[in-house]
């Protein structure tokens, strides 16, 4: 059977074995689309059924999460934890609390995490988890009740040498605190390295909050420089206004770019003079209000348009930093027509496959999330390192390590694409570089 036939048969098998999981199918197809050159050069990967093994999680845990709200009503949610691959280290990946969380969603995120973590060059495998619990509108007491119930089941499946969860959408420092407190209470151990994203006063790491957004901006800077462009003076649009978006905006401004638009689920703010980050953070992080309030308080040329996306605003660089599948084919065409030079995924798989195809065909520099947003998990691994050595690094040292890791990720993707005859193709470069590291470790371990 040819390599093409083997890959086609594998796709069919994955769809039949994992029905009704479109996000997982999408993530697997995105990787398999680029692997034919590497399996052609390494037939031992096919012989050892590495592709089949990499696409099958090592473990999938689903559990009930009962909790009681402030009125005394009992609620039942569903919890998930996927340990996808531990060839390079303990499973590592966030927890997401959002109504959209499902088994297929968690498997897609965990699969992406395997290759993202491999690209960091740090000893961490890939995993993901979460629940369909919605923290929006819930009191601190209700969120604590849910988190304690969630950890009461999860604790038996995690550990600093087994599986290390972190935060994600709906899971910030508050939730991590409640989860860690319950883990400590149940196990009678202060095992700092079992969770990352902790508060600075209790074994957390500096730059962890900023890391994903900062890392995305650093990757864009490296990508533009490697292709005879620069970030200085460029107009940039960023989707979202959450943690990743805010710190991507901050670092883009520090690197000389100008972010002229950002958004939330209601609409988009366009500020031609550049987003006022202090005002944005006051509205979104302090007041937890809607971005629609920005223009009135900012004044000047700033405007808000309900239902509009940032992709309709002309820019040189676009950073989708909100959620999966937010940027479709029509958005990609709009960006290409407006002269976009580079697109980097700050969120996980925010660009639909047809949008990615259009960017690549048009010669737009495109950085997939597994490379561009790897700064978050890289800094989580640095948090694990500090916890293991009972150490705490300065902000400056931590950011320097993050910058170095993002520079190395870019170099690996760039050089791998060139090695396989696809210069400038960061999708192929990221997939092949990440896959090769995991595959070589799995070969070394035998059939497990």
CA distance 401 to 394: 11
Q: Among residues of the chain, what percentage have pLDDT more than 70? A: 100
Distance CA 115, CA 397 (A): 26
H-helix or E-strand spanning residue 103: helix 103-119
106 and 82 in contact (C-beta within 8 Å)? yes
Domains delineated in the chain: 3-54 (no CATH), 59-195 (3.40.50.10860), 211-367 (3.40.50.720)
Looking at residue 44, its pLDDT comes to 94
What's the whole-model pTM score?
Answer: 0.94
Residues in the chain, pLDDT under 70: 1
Query: H or E element: which one contains 51?
Result: helix 50-54
Query: Cα separation of 444 and 419, whole Å?
Result: 23
pLDDT at 1: 62
Query: Which of 116, 128, 198, 370 is labelled catalytic?
Result: 128
Decide if 308 is catalytic: no
pLDDT digits (tens, 9 = 90+) for 132-157: 999 999 999 999 999 999 999 999 99
Q: How far apart are CA 211 and CA 375, in angstroms?
A: 5
pLDDT at 162: 98
């Amino acid at each position: 059977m040819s390599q093409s036939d083997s890959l086609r048969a594998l796709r069919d098998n994955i769809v039949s074995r994992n029905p009704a999981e479109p996000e997982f199918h999408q993530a697997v197809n995105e990787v398999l689309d680029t692997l034919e050159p590497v399996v052609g050069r390494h037939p031992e990967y096919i012989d050892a059924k590495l592709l089949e093994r990499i696409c099958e999680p090592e473990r999938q845990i689903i559990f009930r999460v009962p909790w009681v709200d402030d009125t005394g009503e009992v609620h039942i949610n569903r919890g998930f934890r996927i340990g996808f691959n531990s060839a390079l280290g303990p499973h590592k990946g966030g927890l997401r609390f959002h109504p959209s969380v499902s088994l297929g969603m968690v498997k897609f995120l965990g699969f992406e995490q395997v290759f993202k973590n491999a690209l960091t060059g740090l000893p961490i495998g890939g995993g993901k988890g979460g629940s369909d619990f919605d923290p929006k509108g819930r009191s601190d007491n209700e969120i604590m009740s849910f988190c304690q119930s969630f950890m009461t089941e999860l604790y038996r499946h995690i550990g600093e040498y087994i599986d290390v969860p972190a935060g994600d959408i709906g899971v910030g420092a508050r939730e991590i605190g409640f989860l860690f407190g319950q883990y400590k209470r149940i196990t009678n151990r202060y095992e700092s390295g079992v969770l990352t994203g902790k508060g600075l006063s209790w074994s957390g790491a500096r730059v962890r909050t900023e890391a994903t957004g900062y890392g995305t901006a650093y990757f864009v800077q490296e990508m533009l420089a490697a292709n005879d462009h620069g970030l200085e003076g460029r107009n940039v649009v960023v989707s979202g206004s959450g943690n990743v978006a805010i710190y991507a905006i901050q670092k883009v401004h520090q690197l000389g770019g100008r972010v002229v638009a950002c958004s939330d689920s209601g609409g988009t703010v366009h500020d031609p003079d550049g987003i006022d980050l202090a005002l944005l953070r006051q509205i979104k992080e302090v007041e937890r209000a809607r971005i629609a309030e920005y223009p009135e308080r900012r004044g000047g040329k700033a405007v808000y348009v309900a239902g509009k996306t940032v992709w309709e605003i002309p820019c040189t660089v676009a950073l989708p930093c909100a959620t999966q599948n937010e940027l479709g084919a029509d958005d990609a065409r709009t960006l290409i027509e407006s002269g976009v030079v580079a697109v980097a995924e700050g969120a996980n798989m925010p660009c639909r496959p047809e949008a990615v195809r259009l960017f690549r065909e048009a010669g737009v520099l495109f950085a997939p999330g597994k490379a561009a947003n790897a700064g978050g998990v890289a800094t989580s691994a640095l948090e694990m390192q500090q916890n293991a050595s009972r150490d705490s690094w300065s902000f400056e040292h931590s950011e320097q390590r993050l910058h170095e890791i993002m520079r190395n990720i870019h170099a690996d993707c760039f050089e791998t694409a060139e090695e396989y005859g696809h210069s400038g193709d960061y999708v192929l470069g990221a997939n092949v570089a990440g896959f090769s590291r995991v595959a070589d470790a799995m070969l070394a371990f035998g059939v497990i």
